[in-house]
């Protein structure tokens, strides 16, 4: 699976190392990430693709919202990341 909006990734470098983020925009070798807490949906973090680890987790809800150009609340982003990550850790 290649990186697209809605993918859940883990930061490999920087102050946010080992934290989960959702991809909200993809440009060439850059991606824009948010977690709804430190990095808000309105002001996502720009990172190079090589500085994140792709997981097999994906948020269909966030993907559809971005494609429909809906503005998500930061609370929605936080809940969606927590729901997906907790479900994946149980398995």
Q: What fold, for 7-90?
A: SH3 type barrels. (2.30.30)
- CA-CA distance, 31 to 8, in Å (whole number)? 12
Q: In which band, very low, low, confident or very high, does the pLDDT at 88 lie, cut at 50, 70 and 90?
A: confident
Confidence at residue 14, expressed as pLDDT on a 0 to 100 scale: 87
Picking from 38, 35, 47, the residue whose alpha carbon sits closest to that of residue 72 is 35
Other residues' Cβ atoms within 10 Å of the Cβ of residue 65: 20
**Six-digit token pair at 61?**
């809800």
Residue 91, pLDDT > 60, answer no
**What is the CA angle 28-10-8, rounded to 5?**
70
Indicate the domain borders of the chain: 7-90
- CA-CA distance, 31 to 17, in Å (whole number)? 16
Mean pLDDT of 31-45: 95
Radius of gyration of the chain (CA): 12
Q: In which band, very low, low, confident or very high, does the pLDDT at 44 lie, cut at 50, 70 and 90?
A: very high
Mean pLDDT of 46-71: 95
């Amino acid at each position: 699976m290649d990186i697209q909006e809605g993918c859940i990734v883990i930061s490999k470098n920087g102050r946010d190392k080992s934290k989960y983020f959702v991809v909200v925009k993809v440009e060439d070798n850059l991606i824009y990430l948010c977690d709804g807490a430190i990095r808000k949906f309105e002001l996502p973090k720009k990172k190079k693709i090589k500085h994140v680890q792709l997981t097999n987790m994906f948020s269909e809800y966030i993907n559809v919202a971005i494609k429909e150009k809906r503005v998500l609340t930061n609370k929605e982003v936080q809940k969606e990341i927590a729901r997906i990550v907790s479900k994946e850790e149980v398995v």
